[in-house]
Amino acid sequence: MEEEMKAMLDQIESLKHSLPNNTAIADLQRHAERIAGLVKCAPTKRSKVKDMSAEVVDSNPYSRLMALQRMGIVHNYERIRDFSVAIVGIGGVGSVAAEMLTRCGIGRLLLYDYDTVELANMNRLFFRPDQVGMTKTDAAVQTLKDINPDVVLESYSLNITTVKGFEVFMESLTNKNFHGSGVDLVLSCVDNYEARMVVNQACNELKQTWMESGVSEDAVSGHIQLLIPGETACFACAPPLVVASGVDERTLKREGVCAASLPTTMGVVAGLLVQNALKFLLNFGNVSPYLGYNALKDYFPTMEMRPNPQCSNLACLERQKEYDLAKPAREAAAKAKMEAESSSMIEYPVHIDNEWNISVVDDNEPDISTSSKSTVFIPDGLVHELPSADGFQKPSFFEESSSIVDDLDDLKKQLEALNAE
């Protein structure tokens, strides 16, 4: 289009020379120049990239990400394209988490939400005023596909707490049309207990690992949590205090009163969540079982939560039994793996280059005999020359000492002779 606009401007310029005083041509030229300026300002569409490359060029969108592999942080970063992640709740945390995973080059994203974009959401990140009225899932797909067209995006505008919504949610998680596998990880970014319990139920039934996240109503604290059915506490194992007290969460909301929301806190929690997800998927670093965030004190508490044997969720109890039954086999496999790794390890000296032939001797070893010391390496120009017992000669110092004693005796005799006279 830019070439067509340039050709049009050239034609107008030639007409202007043939008819110099024609105002219509001048107006036409200004209009064409304005359109040409708008064309230059139009967003550039990124083309798809077939294979991730570590080549450091300006046109490579993955060069900085692949540098993690070159620096030894990740063994094979390109594996990220094989993973599917489901994000439930495309709000202040979920939308930012979706953008981060898209920029990281995740293989497939499944997005779930039933709400629409409002101007009240503009205090958060990600959404734009021109998207007001769109469903959050459609607005997310619109933005994310422009950022990275390599990511497969699936949007579900539904409420998972309804019977129909729960059925669609379960079916989509088990769909294996992407690389022959289902979802590798579920990220819960919802803002209410009811939706969290639905995600918890689905993941317990499907034996699906998931991560939960949340931000407090005062917008100055948050948390992330890893939940592995049977191995860690599920969301029903340790319910929030308000739920354990028997209070209906829905009665706490009052008309005209809304929770606070800071884009900074939302962004921090989303970053912690995605960082934990990347470590889990790509197997690097330590995956946090629970990580809290207190913005007022910059405090990050961590803890581990074991499953509750008296959990109210029946699917959780079933997963606990399965985990306990598999414990002996799991420990045996871990032991065998450890032994295999230790046997395959080859010990090398810390410093291969040893120009001065320095060696370390164990203090517990017996002393080396004098005869064996002679076999120690000696630099060129030096030799061992130790005296033998038979040929030992007294130093000249002893000869000089004896002569001094004889001289003193003679002097003493001479003095005694003088005194006698």
In tens, the pLDDT along 353-398 reads 667 777 777 666 665 554 444 455 666 666 656 555 555 555 555 5
Q: What is the pLDDT of residue 372?
A: 47
> Hey, what's the torsion of the CAs at 114, 205, 283, 82, to 10 degrees?
-60
Number of C-beta neighbours around residue 11 at 10 A = 12
Mark whether 316 is an active-site residue: no
Residue partners of 8: CB distance under 8 A and separation at least 6: 32
Catalytic residue among 234, 258, 311, 316: 258
Residue partners of 185: CB distance under 8 A and separation at least 6: 83, 84, 85, 86, 209, 210, 211, 277, 280, 281
With contact defined as beta carbons under 8 Å apart, do 199 and 188 qualify?
yes
- The 10s digit of each residue's pLDDT in 154-187 is 999 999 999 999 999 999 999 988 877 889 999 9
Side-chain-side CA neighbours of residue 141 (13 Å): 16
With contact defined as beta carbons under 8 Å apart, do 189 and 89 qualify?
yes
For the ranges 27-36, 240-249, 374-383, the maximum mean pLDDT occurs at 27-36
pLDDT over 70 (residue 352): no
Phi, psi of 86 (to 5 degrees): -105, 130
Q: What is the pLDDT of residue 351?
A: 62
The length of the chain is 421
pLDDT over 80 (residue 236): yes
* pLDDT band for position 137 (cuts 50, 70, 90): very high
Question: Which one, of 222, 233, 228, lies nearest residue 208 by Cα?
Answer: 228
| Spatial distance between the Cα atoms of 214 and 221, rounded to a whole number of angstroms | 9
How far is Cα of residue 270 from the mean position of the Cα atoms in its chain? 13
**Overall average pLDDT of the 328-340 stretch:** 88
**Overall average pLDDT of the 303-308 stretch:** 92
| Spatial distance between the Cα atoms of 196 and 243, rounded to a whole number of angstroms | 12
The per-residue pLDDT of the chain, averaged, comes to 83
Q: What is the pLDDT of residue 239?
A: 73
Helical spans, DSSP H, in 71-219: 94-104, 136-147, 163-174, 193-206
* pLDDT band for position 238 (cuts 50, 70, 90): confident
152 forms bridges with which residues in the sheet? 108
Which one has a higher pLDDT value, 240 or 334? 334
Number of C-beta neighbours around residue 208 at 10 A = 21
Sheet holding 221-227, edge to edge: 152-157, 108-113, 84-88, 185-188, 210-215, 221-227, 290-294
**Overall average pLDDT of the 345-351 stretch:** 63
Residue partners of 137: CB distance under 8 A and separation at least 6: 90, 111, 112, 113, 155, 156, 157
For the ranges 47-61, 232-246, 280-294, 407-421, the maximum mean pLDDT occurs at 280-294
3-state secondary structure of 87: strand
Task: Report percent pLDDT > 90 for the chain.
Answer: 54
Q: What is the pLDDT of residue 378?
A: 62
Amino acid at 48: K
Residue partners of 324: CB distance under 8 A and separation at least 6: none
pLDDT over 90 (residue 309): yes
3-state secondary structure 265-317: HHHHHHHHHHHHHHHHHHCCCCCCCEEEEECCCCECCECCCCCCCCCCCHHHH
| Spatial distance between the Cα atoms of 349 and 379, rounded to a whole number of angstroms | 23
| Spatial distance between the Cα atoms of 327 and 334, rounded to a whole number of angstroms | 10
Phi, psi of 84 (to 5 degrees): -120, 135
Q: What is the pLDDT of residue 42?
A: 55
With contact defined as beta carbons under 8 Å apart, do 148 and 105 qualify?
yes
Lowest mean pLDDT among 18-27, 175-184, 247-256: 247-256
Phi, psi of 88 (to 5 degrees): -100, 115
Lowest mean pLDDT among 22-31, 145-154, 250-259: 250-259
With contact defined as beta carbons under 8 Å apart, do 210 and 203 qualify?
yes
Task: Report percent pLDDT > 70 for the chain.
Answer: 74
